[in-house]
């Protein structure tokens, strides 16, 4: 049996960097969760590492729809980050 892998399935992530970043730890859990979701989007971005979908940078309204929060909540969390 052959397993064909497509796209990016792996990236190096240093958990200790995430856990030990004092600025990130001062952010709310909601903002930290948004940051992680945006990292996931960036891992699939083209160019790689950018928060884009179909080559277009995401605005607060796009991010709100993507993660299922209101636009004002998304904007507040982005400002917090």
pTM (predicted TM-score): 0.81
What is the model's pLDDT at position 3?
44
Structure tokens at 37: 């979701």
Provide the pLDDT for residue 21: 92
Can you tell me the mean pLDDT for 27-31? 96
Query: What average pLDDT does the chain have?
Result: 88
The average pLDDT across 20-42 equals 94
pLDDT at 1 over 60: no
């Amino acid at each position: 049996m052959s397993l064909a892998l497509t796209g990016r399935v792996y990236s190096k992530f240093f958990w200790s960097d995430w856990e030990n970043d004092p600025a990130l730890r001062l952010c709310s859990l909601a903002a930290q969760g948004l940051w992680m979701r945006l990292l996931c989007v960036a891992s699939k971005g083209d160019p790689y590492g950018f928060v884009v979908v179909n080559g277009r940078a995401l605005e607060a309204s796009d991010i709100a729809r993507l993660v299922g929060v209101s636009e004002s909540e998304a904007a507040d969390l982005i400002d917090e980050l």
